[in-house]
């Protein structure tokens, strides 16, 4: 069991996923409201693990060299919408 806390639904789900994935290190709780913690989680999470990113979208994002959640978070929205 894990508990994830984040400023948005997607980030809270990502925090929860991280809490479960790294249970022995997190004690089952991850709070990514703090920017430092959020950036660490985003850098260490594959884009395929982000809620709502399926196989087809993952392949498309990887073709754009977007491989981590941080890559996705910092990508230019105009470029993402254009593809």
- Whole-angstrom Cα distance, residue 21 to residue 79? 31
Average pLDDT, the chain: 94
In this predicted model, what pLDDT tens digit does every residue of 7-61 receive, in sequence order?
999 999 999 999 999 988 889 999 999 999 999 999 999 999 999 999 999 999 9
Q: How confident is the model at residue 1 (pLDDT cuts 50, 70, 90)?
A: confident
pLDDT of amino acid 83: 63
82's tokens: 């254009």
pLDDT at residue 78 above 70?
A: yes
Which residues neighbour 78 within 8 Å (Cβ) at sequence distance 6 or greater? none
Comparing CA positions, the residue from 27, 29, 22 lying closest to residue 44 is: 22
Please tell me the pTM assigned to this model: 0.85
Distances (CA, A) of 14 to 48, 78, 79, 81: 11, 24, 24, 22
Residue 37's Cα: distance from chain center in Å? 12
């Amino acid at each position: 069991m894990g508990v994830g806390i984040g400023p948005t639904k997607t980030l809270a789900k990502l925090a929860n996923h991280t809490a479960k994935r790294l249970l022995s290190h997190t004690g089952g709780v991850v709070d990514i409201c703090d920017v430092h913690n959020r950036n660490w989680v985003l850098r260490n999470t594959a884009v395929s693990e982000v809620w709502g990113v399926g196989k087809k979208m993952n392949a498309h994002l990887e073709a754009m060299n977007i491989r981590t959640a941080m890559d996705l978070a910092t990508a230019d929205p105009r470029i993402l919408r254009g593809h």
